Amino acid sequence: MDLIVKRPYGTRDMVPAQAYKWHTVEKLAMETAEQYGFKEIRFPTFEETKLFKRSVGDATDVVQKEMYGVFAQSTENGKDEDGFTLRPEGTAGTVRAVLENGLLNEAMPQKVYYIISCFRHERPQAGRLREFHQFGAEMFGSDSPAADAELIAMAKGFMDRLGISGVELFINSIGCPVCRKQYHAALKAYFEERKDNLCDTCKGRLDKNPMRILDCKSPVCSGIAKDAPVILDFLCDECREHFEKLKENLSVMGIEYSVNPKIVRGLDYYTKTVFEFVASDIGAQSTICGGGRYDGLVEQLGGPKTPALGFAMGLERLIMTMENQGCDFIPEKKCDLYIASMGEAAAKKALSLAKELRDEGFWVEYDLMGRGLKAQMKYADKIGAAFSMVIGDNELENNGANLKNMRTGEQIPLRFDDGFIENFSNIVVGDMFSDTMNNI
């Protein structure tokens, strides 16, 4: 088949056969977030470009190379504004929404979560797409290292619920503006001596933000950065104490971790704590969760001085990891009843019964294709119907039909009277209980 239009490069379709995997991850994400007191927030798919330039950072790959512009507006004086950008991540939009809607005037800490699509123009590969999806959580108001530990515990708890194993937690502190000033000077001096060997992008980062060089994916730059000064050697007393208390809290919670002084994360708004959860079985894009503190971002975007922190997880990478590890997904919902009919009067009865049962919450199907009885039953089997019922002239005359259990073949008489709904419900619940007991 020669299609006229195909999906955009670097995107994926979710077809119905895959939906239950996404539903599993999204359902458990929402349940875990709510257990930790996080409430859902939603915000636009696109924002003013300057939001991301101010928050994410001009020297980052995201701003320099990966953002998708939507359109630009012309003002009355003829000058173009910055226009709009499809969101490349969720934190900046969350902070903007929290500020604009006055959530910081409510009880602290404010805890919100989101499940969103994001967009970055980068080279697609396993676990990396141009449109991808994230589960994220953000907390505002607490500067306590206990808040850092709670957020990490929530992320780990979610992955534990998914059944994912073999995921390592790496933590680091990248300090505050006070101690980072000294660290930037040391980094700049180190990389200046090796400037000729850096890639063009990192040469530009040298003056703006030399820490970005540590995050460069170029093998040459990564090799040079291997022996660069370590941020932990430059932490001020406050940042060092915060990091030590975070480690203590994680130990109290029984959460294993490793300190990786090279973690800086890819966005400029981070301060103090940064962390990553890394899986070993999804290829090069092995980071499935990343986050940390961004204590200066709220103030940077026009709000009051407010400590904040958050994380984001790529749903595609989570699902890939679950598939590779053979994790269980919530079973795909199946049709409860298929009503086959023979003749016009029987078809009307099937339509009526289906409406009654659907109103009670059951998934019911009947013939919409003009099929014969044999083809209808074949279709019932194909869609995995748990029960089937055949209605013809005899069933209409007797005001009842046999309900067939498609798994066992058992036939159960069922009348079309006032007790039809209750009797059908009891049979379905009993069958579900029997299946559960057999699987224990």
Cis check: omega of the bond before 109, within 30 degrees of 0: yes
| Closest CA relative to residue 29, chosen from 143, 158, 217, 125 | 158
* Closest to 140 measured CA to CA, from 293, 321, 352: 293
Distance CA 80, CA 184 (A): 35
> What single DSSP character describes residue 140?
E
What's residue 195's pLDDT? 87
Given the candidates 2.60.40.10, 3.30.930.10, 3.90.550.10, 3.20.20.150, the CATH classification of the domain at 16-176+236-325 is 3.30.930.10
Q: How many CB atoms lie within 10 A of CB 125?
A: 11
Name 46's Cβ contacts closer than 8 Å, sequence gap at least 6.
70, 84, 85, 86, 87
Query: Does residue 179 sit in helix, strand or coil?
Result: helix
**Residue 214 C-beta-side C-alpha neighbours within 13 Å:** 23
Give the strand pairing for 167-173 and 131-140.
unpaired
Q: Distances in Å between the alpha carbon of 359 and those of 135, 336, 347, 349, 363?
A: 33, 13, 18, 16, 10
In the block, which residue shows the tokens 């009947």? Answer: 366
Q: Are 116 and 88 in contact (CB under 8 A)?
A: no
Domain with CATH 3.30.930.10 in the chain: 16-176+236-325
Low-confidence ranges of the chain (pLDDT < 50): 78-80, 433, 436-440
pLDDT at site 440: 42
> What is residue 217's predicted lDDT score, i.e. its pLDDT?
77
Beta bridge partners of 259: 171
Residue 67 CB contacts under 8 Å (≥ 6 apart), including other chains? 49, 52, 85, 86, 88, 119, 120, 121
> Model confidence over 391-432: pLDDT tens digits?
999 999 999 999 999 999 999 999 998 899 999 999 988 766
pLDDT of residue 71: 66
How far apart CA 95 and CA 269 sit, in angstroms, is: 12
Residue 207: predicted pLDDT = 80
DSSP structure string for 256-287:
--EE-TT---SSTT-EEEEEEEEESSS-S--E
Distance CA 366, CA 336 (A): 11
pLDDT at position 73 is: 58
d(CA 228, CA 215): 12
Residue ranges of the chain assigned to CATH 3.40.50.800: 337-428
CA–CA separation, 150 and 131 (whole Å): 29
* CATH class of the structural domain 337-428: alpha beta
Query: Can you give the pLDDT at residue 437?
Result: 39
How far apart are the C-alpha atoms of 282 and 333, rounded to whole Å?
28
User: Which candidate, 151, 173, 191, 169, places its Cα nearest to that of 244?
Assistant: 173
- pLDDT recorded at residue 439: 46
Q: Which pLDDT score, from 0 to 100, does residue 303 have?
A: 95
pTM: 0.87
Closest CA to 416 of 397, 437, 434: 397
